[in-house]
Amino acid sequence: MCSGTPDVVADWRNLLVTEYASPLAMVGVALIVFPKLALGLSGFETGVAVMPLVRGGTDDTPQRPEGRIRDTRKLLTSAALIMSGFLVTSSFATTVLIPHQEFEEGGKASGRALAYLAHQYLGNAFGTAYDLSTVCILWFAGASAMAGLLNIVPRYLPRYGMAPEWTRAVRPLVLVWTAIAFAVTLLFRADVEAQSGAYATGVLVLMSSAAIAVTLSARHRGQRPATVAFSVITLLFAYTTVANILERPDGVKIASFFIAAIVTTSLISRVTRSTELRVTEVQMGETARRFIDEAASGEIRIIANEPNERDQREYVEKEREERAHHHIPASDPVLFLEVTVRDPSEFESVLRITGEERYGYRILRAESSAVANSIAALLLYIRDQTGKLSHVYFSWTEGNPIVNVLRYLIFGDGEVAPVTREVLRHAEPDPGRRPTVHVA
């Protein structure tokens, strides 16, 4: 295309020499205009989104997916090289071949620079074919992005209780994402310029977050050169993101809407699903099973204890207090139950129960994401295994009840007794088959 007009390239090279005092000045200007090319990074985030779809090697395991990691690196490296090449060459071609006024709003190249070149230099037939291929590529890009979302959302949001259980199904999610796509198109009136700002902001925020994560990972591993390099890249993306937001604030508006919608939906989901059992499986150790089998010869009485010092005095005082408050006969043996919250962000987890004898007391110990739900799941498990309804004993938690409710929703503990009863009530509609909760 440039063979007939070699002066165009020559003029461009002369401008580089005459307008910039040094190569450093040229780099500085390039950094300033780099945010305008942010949309050219579009597509790379799609490659990141489909990373979970990479198959990997036949000898991969969930603990060591080495082949999957290797193939993902190949995918991202290939995508980065291809898109970088396209971005540089297309920017060069459009700069030297299209008059500056055509880039302005209302110009023939505004929002369609490559399409302008296709029609201008290769004829309308080729230009039309190029337009159709662009539309198809965008269709496939949207399908690829949706495939990534359909793979990621069911894997993470329901796991943390941030979405209803039905989001694990693919078909409802397809309808939701399709409706959102139509809503965004109508909201921006199918304006390419308006949507490009929002899209570029989303791409840059995603890549900036990824750069920060990689930098922190390199620092955690003690890789100083890599940490410095990734820090520079992170600063570059952060600068580009801020500059893009200041220039095209539409992206922040729509991003804020989506963030608010996701946070609100997540909170509602977390609250409404708080009375689910949240236990996928109960795994009982041999010692714990023996404790329960021997206790099943009479009334199964369990004292819920919040482990503090775990010394002899703690268990003696706790037993004396619960026997006095609940009138438990001195001849009836009791089991202590201690649930420790390790990761409250996990909405569902496997409940592993171990048994321990300490200062003459039999103690059932468990780790879970929520105390009340774990206790309820254990009581129902004991009922199903022994055929007997157990009794669990609590003391009222001191403090503001609203604060205790918030503690439960955020940290998995708090006012355990009433929540345990509610979880049991939702899990077992028949009161006659429901373990008994005592609180004093």
161 contacts 347 by C-beta, under 8 angstroms: yes
Residues in the chain, overall count: 440
Q: What is the DSSP string of 281-330?
A: EEEE-HHHHHHHHHHTTS--EEEE---SS-SHHHHHHHHHHHHHHHT--T
- Alpha-carbon distance 221 to 214, whole Å? 11
Task: Count the helices and strands in the chain (H runs, E runs).
Answer: 14, 7
Name every residue whose Cβ is closer than 8 Å to that of residue 160 and which is 6 or more positions away in sequence: 266, 345, 346, 347
227 contacts 177 by C-beta, under 8 angstroms: no
Write the CA distances from 151 to 43, 55, 335, 378, 408, integer angstroms: 17, 13, 44, 32, 30
* pLDDT of res. 178: 85
Torsion of CA 374, 375, 381, 385, to 10 degrees: 140
* pLDDT of res. 355: 94
* pLDDT of res. 367: 86
- Burial (CB < 10 A; 0-12, 13-18, 19+), residue 3, is exposed
| pTM beyond cutoff 0.85 | no
Helix axes 250-272, 224-247, angle to 10 degrees: 110
CA 412 vs. chain centroid, Å, equals 19
Q: Is 337 left (phi over 0), alpha (psi -120 to 50) or beta?
A: beta
H/E stretch holding 131 reads helix 113-156
Q: Tens place of pLDDT for every residue, the chain, 440 residues?
A: 444 566 667 777 777 767 776 777 777 777 777 666 666 666 666 666 677 778 888 888 878 888 888 998 888 888 888 888 888 888 888 888 888 888 887 788 887 889 999 999 899 999 999 999 988 987 887 777 787 778 777 877 777 777 777 777 788 888 888 888 888 778 777 776 667 777 777 778 878 888 899 999 999 989 999 999 999 989 988 888 888 788 778 777 777 777 787 788 877 877 777 788 888 889 999 999 999 999 999 999 999 998 888 899 999 999 999 999 899 998 899 999 998 887 777 777 888 999 999 999 999 999 888 888 899 999 999 999 999 999 999 987 766 666 766 666 666 666 788 888 888 998 999 999 999 999 88
